Structure 1
């Protein structure tokens, strides 16, 4: 009975603190490494934010940068359709881009060697990571991302 009462008090306290200050829960999250602090909407000129997310095996990190296309993959047509390609960043790290073409226009005539700038959400994997959310969110609940290719922004 005592555990139940203590649990109820704890939940009530957290809920009350959240109602008074929604950022309260952010203080309960573990701190990110310093090199992952947001700079210029997640973009760093040298890709250090992506390198840090990769080395710390972190996901759900907003990142930006640019790279050269080293492989164009077939579209993923299961569920939401995604244009897929692999970028090589200046650091040498590779990054799989999964660009939702049901929500944003396809990058036309994408070729090996083309330069693509990006802003989206990084997901860790042992091969270098995956970039997604490179488009707007129709529901407005997620930060919008984009790809820039041949002087045009795709979002």
Structure 2
């Protein structure tokens, strides 16, 4: 009798573990699919509101993620570390200078006016809208890695 009771308990524990594993796997897969399909939409809206608020409050040093449309591709800044530069316009109308360090990350290829670029970097206030930098990895691992995404490719 005791052995049969132990077998039932063991069977119930195994069943619970299997259901928990399947449930967690399903939840993780649906979360990953949701994140992949709405990465620009979710972070774009939240990020743009965060950037606009930082601009209005003249705040800097904020890690942000969003996207914008290329309004201008500027010449590289070759003073010190080399930076690829572009002006992005957010959906809320704010314009940002993107300063992408091409000594630490690859240059964004085939970039042109009208393209959409997603970014993850640090916002710095200026009276023209602001600057996004740290859109690259940190080889010293002391700062959060940033990136740019253009035509499905991540530049880090």
TM-score when normalising by structure 2: 0.71
1:81 alignment counterpart: 82
| The structure with more helix, counted as a fraction of residues | 2
The one-character-per-residue Cα deviations of 1:85-104 (angstroms, maximum 9, x if unpaired) are 00000000000000000000
* Structure 1 unaligned regions, length at least 5: 1-39
Per-residue deviation at 1:109?
1.5
What does residue range 16-55 of structure 1 map to in structure 2 within 5 Å? 43-46=43-46, 47-55=48-56
1:152 alignment counterpart: 153
1:63 alignment counterpart: 64
List 4+ stretches of structure 1 deviating above 3 A: none
Aligned length: 115
Q: Give distance in 2, aligned partners of 1:50 and 1:93.
A: 9
Query: Are the structure 2 counterparts of residues 44 and 149 from structure 1 closer, same or farther at C-alpha, using a change threshold of 3 Å?
Result: closer
How large is the Cα RMSD of the aligned pairs? Answer: 1.5
TM-score when normalising by structure 1: 0.72
* Structure 2 unaligned regions, length at least 5: 1-38
1:111 alignment counterpart: 112
